[in-house]
């Protein structure tokens, strides 16, 4: 039995990369479908919601192939499923706060998955220096009824970013891109329309989810002994 089949992340076989590309091909295909169809946002529909959610659902399915770290895998799958629910809710303006709640749950699951080791508290200062002024300005433009939910969400998102940066690897970049995507979306929605906002938001969002998902797969490396 090869190292991949035994579930040893340190010594996978040489066929890991082709397998990984195969397992992730539905994600890339459904991303292409989303961007090619580019269903107008001003006409919410279940078809539009399905097309938007499918790439994330494909990542959930791809994680079923991971044979080590099943607790970590399950937390990522839960976070991705919550994200898919959030994606669908954000299609309809009246369901916006339900979407916020779903993404809050997703980030809490990511927090649980990333853990608290290494702690790296020094990361909190730069995160606060960037996110504090941004969210302070954003909250001034929110309807009063949305302020508590979005304030709570911003804190959870900042905590997820902290743990992602502390973890390093693909998780670091995934957490950064997720935060960037959310900041672009919020600014475009509540403060000022941004050029090519939807393209930027969805590109960074899908890339973020992919990078976080990749953290569950063993990294191919040469076997030295």
**Which residues, at least 6 apart from 147, have a Cβ–Cβ distance to it below 8 Å?**
139
Q: Which residues contact 148 (CB under 8 A, 6 or more apart)?
A: none
User: Is the predicted pLDDT of residue 124 greater than 80, yes or no?
Assistant: yes
Comparing 15-19, 150-154, 210-214, the range with the smallest average pLDDT is: 15-19
**What is the 8-class DSSP label of residue 218?**
P
**CB-CB contact of 31 with 3 (8 Å):** no
Whole-number Å distance between alpha carbons of 149 and 2: 48
CB-count burial class (<10 Å; 0-12, 13-18, 19+) for 125: exposed
Cis peptide before 218 (omega within 30 of 0): no
Q: What is the pLDDT of residues 29-75, one digit of tens each?
A: 999 999 999 999 888 999 999 999 999 999 999 999 998 899 999 99
| Stated pTM of the model | 0.90
């Amino acid at each position: 039995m090869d190292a991949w089949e035994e579930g040893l992340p340190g010594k996978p076989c040489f066929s890991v990369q082709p397998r990984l590309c195969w397992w992730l091909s539905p994600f890339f295909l459904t991303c292409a479908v989303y961007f090619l169809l580019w269903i107008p946002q001003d006409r919410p529909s279940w078809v539009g919601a399905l097309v938007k959610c499918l790439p994330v659902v494909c990542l959930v399915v791809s994680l079923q192939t991971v044979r080590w770290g099943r607790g970590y895998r399950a937390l990522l799958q839960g976070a991705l499923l919550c994200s898919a629910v959030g994606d669908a809710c954000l299609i309809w303006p009246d369901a916006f706060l339900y979407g916020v709640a779903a993404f809050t749950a997703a980030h809490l699951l990511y927090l649980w998955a990333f853990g608290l080791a290494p702690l790296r508290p020094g990361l909190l200062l730069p995160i606060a220096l960037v996110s504090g002024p941004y969210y302070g300005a954003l909250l001034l433009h929110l309807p009063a009824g949305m302020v508590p939910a979005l304030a709570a969400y911003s804190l959870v998102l900042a905590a997820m970013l902290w743990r992602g940066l502390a973890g390093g690897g693909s998780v670091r970049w995934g957490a950064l891109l997720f935060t960037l995507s959310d900041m672009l979306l919020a600014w475009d929605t509540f403060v000022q329309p941004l050029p090519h906002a939807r393209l930027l938001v969805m590109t960074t969002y899908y890339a973020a989810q992919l990078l976080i998902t990749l953290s569950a797969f063993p990294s191919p490396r040469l076997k030295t002994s």
